[in-house]
Amino acid sequence: MIKKDGRVEDYRREKLEKCFDKACWKLAADERSKMIDEIEMKLLNWERVEIPSREIGKMVLEKLKDVDEVAYVRFATVYMDLKNMSDFKKLINSFKK
C-alpha cells in the first residue's frame, strides 16, 4: 500500500478493521467484517501490487455511504482531512443530491 506521503507499507486487515470499528460501531461485527471482505476482494483483483491508500479509503467510503451515513461522515472527516465547517457542510450537502 502506498501512503499519502509516498511511503510503502504492507496492507494489514487489522488497520481496516480498526477504521470500521471506529466509524461503524453501531453495526454488528459480522456486517463490518462482510464489508471488509468485499473490499479485500477488490484489492485482490487490483491490477497492480501496490495500491494507493487513498483508493482503499474510497472503497471504504463507497461501502459506508450505502450502509450508514453517519459512519460515512465519521470516516470522511478524517479521510478527507476536513479543515473547517465549510468543508463539513459540503460533505453533508453531498447527501442531498
Q: Which of 24, 14, 15 is nearest to 64 (CA)?
A: 24
CA gap 59, 23 in Å, rounded: 14
pLDDT tens-place string over residues 30-52: 999 999 999 999 998 888 878 88
Mean of the per-residue pLDDT values for the chain? 88
Specify the pLDDT at position 56: 92
Specify the pLDDT at position 79: 86
* SS3 category, 23: helix
Within 13 Å, how many C-alpha atoms sit on residue 29's CB side?
1
Q: For residue 14, what is its C-alpha cell? A: 487489522
pLDDT tens-place string over residues 60-94: 999 998 888 889 988 988 888 888 899 989 888 88
CA gap 90, 83 in Å, rounded: 12
